[in-house]
Amino acid sequence: MTRRTTRMTALVAGALLLSGCGFRGAYSFSLPGGADLGDDPYEVEVEFLDVLDLVQQSAVRVADVPVGRVEKIELDEEDWSARVTIVVNGDVDLPANAVAAIQQSSLLGEKYVELAPPGNAEPSGDLRDRPLIPLERTNRNVEVEELLGALSLVLNGGGLAQLQTINRELGEAMEGREDELKGTLDQLDTFIGGLDEQKSEISRALDSANRLAETLASRTATIRTALDTIGPGLDVINQQRELLVSMLESLARLGDVGTRVINQSAANTVADLQLLQPILSQLAAAGPNLAGSLELLLTYPFPDSSLTALNYREAQTGGYGLFTNMTAEVNFDLTELLCRYAIDQLTGALKIQPVGEECGAPGSPPGNAGTTGGQQQPTQSALSLPTLPGVVGQVPGVGEATGRIGLPQIPGVTQ
């Protein structure tokens, strides 16, 4: 067998061997310079709405570092999205809620799959346990064609001339007003700084508003009932509208009259207060004495200090009688009471004996028994009056004058 035949046989055998192992053409060959997959790589499926021109063997990167490659790109016929299978180095740890995006290395460079932890949530889990990144966590970069198309829309009648006009008008409006604009910007900076300092209070106010909204949401039925109930009341108010307007007009007229009365009587009121001032001054000066008299007035006829000695008992006619412990001597001896009194015969007036002469003393008018020379004088009657000329001083008896006791005897007058 020649060398040429041997080579042909080896090529045929290799082709058969590759066809039996799922040969995929050039994609089955390991290209130099690819990412190191390590000894224990793992597969992850990523769903994209559009993979652009991403191809197999494209790079998979984390923080712009190659960590794997694209193994397979398929179409999911259920939701018509692209399903990309990637292989990642086993030493790369990614959370289960990782995100993926199709990026471009340069303006005209190749496409690759970028993996990263979630930016708006806390990383959780392990991507090996849930090796699927769904559509809501994938995105793609803007294509150069899309950027050029948007730029052509702006340049071709898309408002570029208007931008030049706006720029010119802004320049004319700001010319000569640099200080005012600077002051406005300074005030705006101060305002924004104040808002930044009050952000905790603003956040608390928003939280309070949120709680209020939650409370109102939980009371929806009550609010609906209140709104349904207030309807008839509003109808009644609408029906009484003319009466309410008339009442308000009357109140307005009353206010005008009251204002006019106050204005007209202001001088008299001030004069009355000025005249009242001396009385109030005297009352203020007599304040301590007035307070003491009020104490006696409330406890009359007993002083305030004797209230602790007062006693009470139920009266026969109802109510209660107040009394206090007191001692009194009452003399009902008519001999002592009347011995000083006599009627003058000349004037008919009642006379009182001098104080120096005691009743019943020797030589004094009768009243008390006296002694003369050690002999006891006869005791006169208890009703005897002092003996004066022309005055009956004894109780009439047999053979005595019949004049009335204590009255003068007048000749020719029957007693």
- Is this structure's pTM higher than 0.75? no
| 3-state class (DSSP) for residue 94 | coil
What are the percentages of helix, strand and coil residues in the chain, rounded to 5?
45, 15, 40
Residue 116: the pLDDT is: 92
Number of CB atoms found within 10 A of residue 133's CB: 24
**Number of neighbours of residue 360 by Cβ within 10 angstroms:** 17
Report which residue type is found at 390: G
* Predicted local confidence at residue 187, as pLDDT: 93
Low-confidence ranges of the chain (pLDDT < 50): 1, 16, 19-23, 362-410, 412-415
Evaluate whether 410 touches 392 at the Cβ level (below 8 Å). Answer: no
* Residue 375 neighbours by CB under 8 Å, 6+ apart: none
Nearest to 267 by CA among 275, 255, 278: 275
Cα–Cα distance for residue pair 84/81, rounded to 1 Å: 10
Per-residue pLDDT of 203-220, as tens digits, reads 999 999 999 999 999 999
Encode pLDDT of 327-385 as tens digits: 567 677 777 667 777 777 777 777 776 655 555 554 444 444 444 444 444 444 334 44
Contact status, residue 101 vs residue 139, Cβ threshold 8 Å: yes
Tokens 């993926």 locate to 100
Provide the pLDDT for residue 287: 77
